[in-house]
Structure formats: structure tokens, C-alpha cells
Amino acid sequence: MDYKFHTIGTTSDNSIAFKTKLIGFITKDISLRANKAIGGLFNSIFDNVVELIVAIIALKDGQIRVVQASILGSIISNLLLVLGMCFVAGGISHKTQKFNQTAAQTSSSLMTLACIGLIIPAAFNLAVEKINSNTNEQRKGELLNLSHGTAVVLLIIYILYLLFQLKTHTKLYQEGQEEKERPQLSPIVSLFLLAVVTVAVAFSAKYLVGSIEGFVTSSGLSKSFIGLILLPIVCNIAELANVVTAAIKNKMNFAINVTAGNSMHIALFISPLLVILGWIIKQEMTLFFQLFETIVLFISILITNYLIQDGESNWLEGGVKIPI
């Protein structure tokens, strides 16, 4: 028990954080060889690969609460902590920073749509609980069916978003992202290192997920807290460092696109993918989250939409987001 507590508290967390940072370096090196839109998408996908691996392992072990909380925790962490730190760090160096308003509003609109998709199962469950006399098993089956249908819709929306970003409106995601850096690794070395580090992350994630039960017992913390707070912080360390550095260099288009892109990737791709994977492996993974978590998600997206709608940011706006 003490060993497991030590594992999640120190060794495993530090190992995953280091590998996350290494994945960030490798994916950035690979993305420099592609055009800005495809490079940004590649970064977005592999910036979240750690969250995806941890979630899949937890799902396989039947830890549904950890998976659900980690999904929302990652979205909220990106929208509040990471983006808030960008605004603060960039605002200290630059009085006011501007970014592409159209791209930002498009991202926020899609996040709002994704939020609605994640809220519907909770609203459905509340309504059915009050007016329907079905048993718990029947309600659970109805909730699973609704979650499966919602997951398919979210995946379709994600495909449309990729078409928008990579085909019809690529300039929105290229503007203001001039990059003078050159790749430091050869393509073969980059891909080899990416594969090796991803496998290493899978082993570390297995240790981390396996130590959750012992950590919960030893610390008295809930699985919801671990998934909602601890796991997203560990997985987002590398991303936080990258986008804060970009904000200090006044590359706010890049910072906004990465942060919002990661949030959308989790909401529109990872969360429905996990629901469908749960469907395949017979785990009752749904999009029904706890009421408190759902409200926090809604507030996070509402505040983010309000603060980026003018296409400008300053340190005070970041200071407002972080404490929430």
C-alpha cells in the first residue's frame, strides 16, 4: 500500500511528466516538416496521447469515474489553467495581445457544441429519474444508448472540424504563426523516438492507474479528485510550458490554437472514442458526468467564450481564469 502511494505521488508522476515533455519536443520537431495546419493538428493529437493512453488503461480496468473525471479535467485545465497562464505570461511582457478573432470564435463555438453534447446525458438522466418508473438497469441501458448516439455525432463534428481546418479554411490557422525554427532530428529518428516514448508512456500509465486504488485508500482523496485535478496537471505540464513560452514571444495565435485545439480534440474525439471503446470491450462508459463537474465545464466554456470574443487578451483576463 505504501509503495503504491509512493508510486502515484512521486516516481510515476515525474516519469509521465518527463515523457510528456519529450513527446512534445518530438512532435514539434516532426510538425516543423509539415505545413502549419497539419503540423498544428499533429501537435494537438500527440499532445493528448498521454491522456488517451491513461484513459484507455483506466477504462480497461473498469475505473469509469477516473476516465470521466480525467476527460473533463483535461478540458477544464486547458481552458482555465493553461489558457489563463498564457494570458498572464504574455500580458506581463506585452500590454495587450491580439489574436485571430475568427479562428478563436470558431473554436469556442465548437467547444460550446461539444459541451452541449456532454451535458445532454446528464439532463436526460435527471429527467428520466423524475418522470420515469423504469428500474435502474433500464435507465442505465437508455443512458448507454444515448451516450453511444451522442459519441457518433461528436465524432462526425470532429471530422467536419478537420475538414474546416485542413482544407477549406487553412489560412485561419496559419496566420500569425511564422516559425523560423528548423527540425533538429531526421524523420526516421523522430518517428522511432516517438514510438519508443509512446510505449514507455503506456507502461508508466499502467503503473499510475494500478496505483490509484492504493493512493485513494492512503490519502483519503476521491477518484473524482484524482481524475479531475491530479492527472490533467501531470499530463499538461509540457503543453503548459510550450504555450506559455509562445505567449511570452507574442505568438498568441499559436497559443490559442493549441490550447483550444487540445480542448476540442478531447471533447470531440477522445471522449466519444472512449465511449465507443467501452461499447466494444463491454465497459459501461457513458457521457453522464456528475452534476458538479458538468456545471464547472459549462462555466469554463462560458468564461472562455466571453474573454476571447474581442480577439484581445491581457494579464488581468488570465488572472480571472486561473483561480476558477
Chain position carrying cell 490557422: 173
- Mean pLDDT over the full length of the chain: 77
Q: How far apart are CA 62 and CA 59, in angstroms?
A: 5
Contact 31, 184 (CB under 8 A): no
Q: What was the pLDDT predicted at 126?
A: 76
If pLDDT is split at 50, 70 and 90, which confidence band does 181 have? low
Domain boundaries, the chain: 2-321
- Over residues 98-104, the mean pLDDT reads 79
> Average of pLDDT values for 168-189?
66
Please tell me which residue, 146 or 179, carries the higher pLDDT value.
146
2-321 falls under which CATH superfamily?
Answer: NCX, central ion-binding region (1.20.1420.30)
What is the structure's pLDDT at 2?
A: 42
The pLDDT value given to residue 177: 47
Rounded to whole angstroms, the Cα distance separating 148 from 211 reads 30
Q: Which residues contact 104 (CB under 8 A, 6 or more apart)?
A: 256, 260, 308, 309, 311
Confidence bin at 41 (pLDDT 50/70/90): low
What is the per-residue pLDDT for 246?
A: 82
State how far the Cα of 270 lies from the Cα of 68, in Å rounded to an integer. 11
Q: Would the pLDDT of 277 be above 90?
A: yes
Taking the complete model, does pTM exceed 0.85, yes or no?
no
Cell numbers at 124, concatenated: 436526460
With 80 as the cut, is the pLDDT of residue 183 above it? no
In this predicted structure, what is the pLDDT of residue 129?
67
Q: Please give the full DSSP string across 167-180, using - where no structure is assigned.
A: II-GGGGTTT----
Whole-number Å distance between alpha carbons of 67 and 54: 8
- For residue 278, the model assigns a pLDDT of 92
Alpha helices in the chain (DSSP H): 2-6, 12-31, 36-47, 49-60, 64-76, 83-93, 101-131, 136-163, 187-210, 212-219, 223-225, 231-235, 237-248, 252-265, 271-280, 291-308, 315-321
Lowest mean pLDDT among 108-112, 173-177, 219-223: 173-177
